Every structure is written in C-alpha cells, then in structure tokens.
Copies of this chain bind each other. A is one copy, B any other.
Amino acid sequence: MPSDALSATFAALADPTRRAILARLALGEASVTELAQPFAISLPAVTKHLKVLQRAGLVSQGRQAQWRPCKLEAEPLQNAAGWIEQYRRHWEQRLDQLDDYLRELQAQDGGKPQG
C-alpha cells in the first residue's frame, strides 16, 4: 500500500476509466453525472474513481447546489512527468551506444553480471 505522492499519482493513472475522466476534465469542469455518462458503470463506481483521483490530488471538487463540479488539478502530473523524463535517454538511445560499449568492456573480463 504505497502512499507516497508519486505512487498515488501513477496508481491513479493506471486505470483507463480514470484517464478518460481526466481527459474529459481537461476540457473543463463537469459534474459527477456528466463524468459517468460515457461509461457503462454505476455512479458509485465513478465516485470511487474520483476519490482515487482526489487522493492523488489530480481532481478537486467544488459545490454548486446539489452538484459537485469536478476540476482537473494537473500539478501532480508534473512530478510524474519529471520522474519519467529521467529515463528519456534510455529510450532515445542517444547514449545507448555508450552503454553498449561499456557492457562490452565488462563482458571481456568475466562472465558474471556484477554491478
């Protein structure tokens, strides 16, 4: 049960329904019923998804009569993006050739993987 902020953010993003909710909120505020409309799940299920998103700080909820309009709060995504960006060089293989070179050097003086 990881409860740090980054883990909560990634966990919240690890569900397609919640990502769709965020995508909808990126267009503007919406009520819970409006958010639920595209999905074939019950309203309590949507409430639960919203709780996960709120716990991650990705969504805030206001008050307007009996509606509780939901709003995107994108700041936590900044840390998530920052964490992932650290690995950009690994998928852009700019330095991967250096990695390969170092690995080859290692491979020449012994067989075992040893850090």
Contact = CB atoms under 8 A, between A and B. Distances in A.
Contacts of A84: 13, 77, 80-81, 84
A40 interface: no
How many copies of this chain sit in the oligomeric assembly? 2
Interface in A79-115: 80-81, 83-88, 90-91, 99, 102-103, 106, 111-115
Contacts of A83: 13, 19
Given A34-B114, A64-B112, A67-B113, 19 more contacts: A2-B15, A2-B16, A6-B19, A11-B11, A13-B83, A13-B84, A22-B87, A26-B87, A26-B90, A27-B115, A29-B103, A65-B112, A67-B112, A69-B113, A72-B87, A75-B91, A77-B90, A81-B84, A84-B84
